[in-house]
Structure 1
Amino acid sequence: MQLVKLLGKSFPLVLWHRLRSAPFQENKGQPPASLRVPEPYRRRSARGRPPRPPHSARHVLQRPPRLLAPPRKAGPFCGDGLLPSLVAMPLVVLCGLPGSGKSRRAEELREALGAEEGGERRVFVVAEAAAAGGGRAALRAEAERLLSRRDVVVVDAGNELKSFRYELYCLSKHAGTPHCLVLCPGGAPRPDRSPLEAPDPRQRWDWPLFTAPADEAEPLPLAEIRAALFERRPPPPNQSTRSQPLQAAGFLHRLDRLTQDVLAALMAAQRGGVQPGQFVPVAVDGLRGEAQGLVLSRPVSLAELSRLRRQFLSYAKMHPGDGEENLPQLGSMFLQYLSRNLH
């Protein structure tokens, strides 16, 4: 039933109505934090007007809205909680202008973190100079190759753009490791480099944020950095960073065949003279139960049924459940889905 409610025909309009009717008084014209879209992926039109509402449930399946989690509580790490027993090798992202001492801070982190655990912990420094030929793409690829649950990766680069810092944050989510951001003050901008977009600790890809001392002789706050890296729960993966489940070809073929048989039975019943409001029994192989069917309140075309079938298949492929064992249940849910959307 949850699947049917999620894919209901009126779900996109209800969601759009919630976004348009949310209270805007508390933040001077800004929507509440729980409904804000992340800045790098916020959709804007050419004239500055908000995008049009989604026109079908298929839009929701392919491009779900990206909603931020509720704001964290005050205090360090109170929103995520501390787990001293959880050991996961993290990602450290350095940020700053050229000449701010990022390479020296990266070496300081490598020596401090590598000396722990009896020297068994490996610390890799991904330098921007080593990936200068490939730009940000080569830097991201090298960090992704080294990132794992066993090693520490320090990205020694300017990372001026918050969109690129968000990409690194998604890498840590995909690997299931914590991450932190270290801002190196000072330095001077260059005409050939992008301007620095200052980190905002209110954004999840810039949190937790640590600022290196302006005096290079002073050490980094290593105790706080260790707590953020090794005693904090890693961010849970979401739909954009989770690997797609592998499915057997036989399961997809049987599910596709089952939904086709259901549509064929409905079209045959309409050609046989079924009137609107009558119960249409559907007897096809693969359905669980004896009295399977639905009530058609109006005549429906094959094109409309095929559109609803594609929407259901796109969601079922992303949530296969128990595979072959879940096929009869998916068949019953497909009938319920058709009943909800054929009004």
Structure 2
Amino acid sequence: MALVTISGYPCSGKTRRAERIKIALEHRLQDTSYAGPQLRVVIVSDDTLGISRDAYQDTRSEKPARGALFTAMQRAMDRDTILIIDAMNYIKGFRYQMYCAARELKLRVCTVYVVATQDLVKEWNETRMDGKTYAPQTLDNLLMRYEEPSSMVRWDSPLITVPWTDEDIPADDIWKAVTEGNVKPPNAGTQAVPKAPTDALRALEATTTAIVTAIMAEQAASGGLGGSVTLALPDNVKTNVALPARNVTLSELQRTKRQFVTVNKKAIILGTTEKGALDWSDGSIAHRFAAYIEDNIWQ
């Protein structure tokens, strides 16, 4: 139903705020005045995934750590879940990636920015007693690379700011964002790409090969008279193709087949975002290849 992205400096109090947000949301969901759908509130964080603070010491270990967080987020996102991502989320490109994933599922989004000064987070890091401190050099590097959220960009909006001086969280603003906020529909950049069935490549190759063979056999039987002919293919598949009044050579057909297969292989492997998923049945491939042959050999 909603994605709440927590962002802020390391050791700025994000986890404490995330827990309070979870408690506040659960309290409202259990209130007798609440008449909406049954929802659960889930927190995903470095701690819940067992990601060590040492993972942020260099980019080689940091990248898989972010990947693990994003994968866990994708697994937990659901229409009946308010998901809180308790992490630094300090790279705007990563926040945009999470926003796109949420938009793909038509979830509401909001960003909670936990603000603290660099001097304070350094002090709090040094005084932590839970063994979850950052090495001084790592902390300095993360502070330098932090990209502050902005209410001016769509992936950080609505942006709710919580300064270090506020122990309370703006529960009303967060509740409104996750229950009443606008749900932006997926666009071409964020929508799920329809995937072809696992046997689509096999069907593509087998069907186009059968059509080439059938055309050569038809020409041999008719003497190259051309015209509209019906090709009988394996598995009771039939298709019509209009042939010119000449013998179409095997090399022409093979070249046309390679071009058709190359174009369609890309659609199979990468998926397609065109309106309506392509049909990869033998009959559909046969009809499309027959039309492709007509467009090319009559030129």
Q: TM-score range by the shorter chain?
A: 0.5 to 0.7
Aligned to 1:126: 44
Aligned to 1:309: 261
CA-CA distance at 1:294 after TM superposition: 4.7
Aligned to 1:197: 147
Work out which of the residue numbers 148, 162, 185 in structure 1 matches 2:78: 148
CA contact (8 A) 1:95 1:102 kept: yes
CA contact (8 A) 1:287 1:329 kept: no
CA contact (8 A) 1:247 1:320 kept: no
Q: Which has the higher strand share?
A: 2
CA-CA distance at 1:162 after TM superposition: 2.1
CA-CA distance at 1:158 after TM superposition: 0.9
Q: Which amino acid aligns with 1:162?
A: K
Paired residues, what number?
246
For the residue of structure 1 that corresponds to 2:102, the secondary structure is helix
- Mapping of 1:7-86 within 5 angstroms? none
> Distance in 2 between the 1:211 and 1:296 partners?
72
CA-CA distance at 1:202 after TM superposition: 5.4
CA contact (8 A) 2:89 2:95 kept: yes
> Distance in 2 between the 1:296 and 1:165 partners?
61
Q: Which amino acid aligns with 2:140?
A: P
For the residue of structure 2 that corresponds to 1:284, the secondary structure is strand
Aligned to 1:261: 210
| TM norm structure 2 | 0.63
1:205-256 deviation line (CA, Å, top 9, x unaligned): x24231314353275444343333223326437687637557475x765554
CA-CA distance at 1:160 after TM superposition: 0.9
Q: Which has the higher helix share?
A: 2
> Distance in 1 between the 2:89 and 2:259 partners?
44
Gaps spanning 5+ residues in structure 1: where? 1-87
Aligned to 2:232: 284
CA contact (8 A) 1:265 1:282 kept: no
Q: Which amino acid aligns with 1:287?
A: K
For the residue of structure 1 that corresponds to 2:264, the secondary structure is helix
Name the CA shift for 1:338/1:301 in 2 (closer, same or farther; >3 Å).
Answer: closer
Q: Which amino acid aligns with 1:126?
A: V
| TM norm structure 1 | 0.57
Gaps spanning 5+ residues in structure 2: where? 32-37, 56-64, 122-138, 272-276
For the residue of structure 2 that corresponds to 1:261, the secondary structure is helix
CA contact (8 A) 1:176 1:237 kept: no
> Distance in 1 between the 2:244 and 2:175 partners?
61
Aligned to 2:129: none
Aligned to 1:107: 19
Work out which of the residue numbers 174, 178, 181 in structure 2 matches 1:225: 174
Report the identity percentage.
Answer: 22
CA-CA distance at 1:152 after TM superposition: 1.9
